[in-house]
Amino acid sequence: MDVSRARSDLEGSRFGRVTIVDETGSTNDDLARAARSGAGEQVLVADHQRAGRGRAGRVWEAPAGASLLCSFLVHPALMLADAHLVTTALGLAALDAVESVCAVRLGLKWPNDLVAVDPRHRDRKVAGVLAESILGADRVKSVVAGIGLNVNWPRALPDELAEISTSLRHLAGDRVDRTSLLVALALGFDRRLSEAESSDGRARMRVAALERSATVGRDVRVVFTGRELRGRAVDLTDEGLIVIEDEARVRHQIAVGDIVHLRPLGT
């Protein structure tokens, strides 16, 4: 990756401070330590992570140099209840960046995955977002938001992996410039964070998230706070919550949970 170009293109944004390393344990862990020391907003990129993880501690590891593995340290003007909007903001920024750089249109599987949906309606994961907050008394102090985006994976993938995951190289038909992708992602995240900080902006984010949702309209099973709920995902709120309608037509708003799609999109 071209760190000089990234720094030049991001100068004047929240993410003018760019660090790129060959390898680390976890970019999220590194920036979480920096946040506790009072560091300013920045982005950290690694060619390889030894201990990258997803939600609920799931391991996320990619071939060295084949993915965009990065974390952003931000200090958003958000109340505690709105901290999860950072995940939505980064997810939307990633969708926009991918489409602008390599003309690939992905969907957003609530709450934190970017997926490719093929004609057989299989969701294949392309990226995952993990946001971890440092909270104050009534406001968010800092958020570390990380993303692992499959970019230039090898053309031949094991069958068991190809069934559930893919990369931008496979979808676009050619290699993708990771520096251009990083710059587009960071600038888009800067813009989406500004939207998250205002009520009008959150309404615009909801419209964008609904348009790109791979979950709304699907029958789903969601596990949250020790419960399991089955129903249809019918809406998103301005605050980024997903609305699930159960068999009794009761609607539930859920802020955090794991979702399994039970029904192919469009059927």
Domain 219-261 class, CATH top level? mainly beta
pLDDT digits (tens, 9 = 90+) for 150-193: 999 988 877 778 888 999 999 999 999 999 999 999 999 999 99
Side chain identity at residue 263, one-letter code: R
This prediction has a pTM of: 0.91
pLDDT digits (tens, 9 = 90+) for 107-150: 999 999 999 987 665 789 999 999 999 988 889 999 999 999 99
pLDDT digits (tens, 9 = 90+) for 49-74: 876 544 444 454 557 889 999 999 99
Contact call for residues 181 and 2 (beta carbons, < 8 A): no
CATH number 3.30.930.10 is the correct assignment for the domain at 3-211: yes
Sheet containing strand 107-109, edge to edge, reads 18-24, 42-49, 67-74, 140-150, 123-135, 113-117, 107-109
Rounded distance between C-alpha atoms, residue 111 and residue 213, angstroms: 10
**Could you tell me the residue ranges of all domains in the chain?**
3-211, 219-261
Determine the average pLDDT of the residues in 184-210.
97
Structure token digits, residue 163: 């069934």
Peptide bond into 119 cis (omega under 30): no
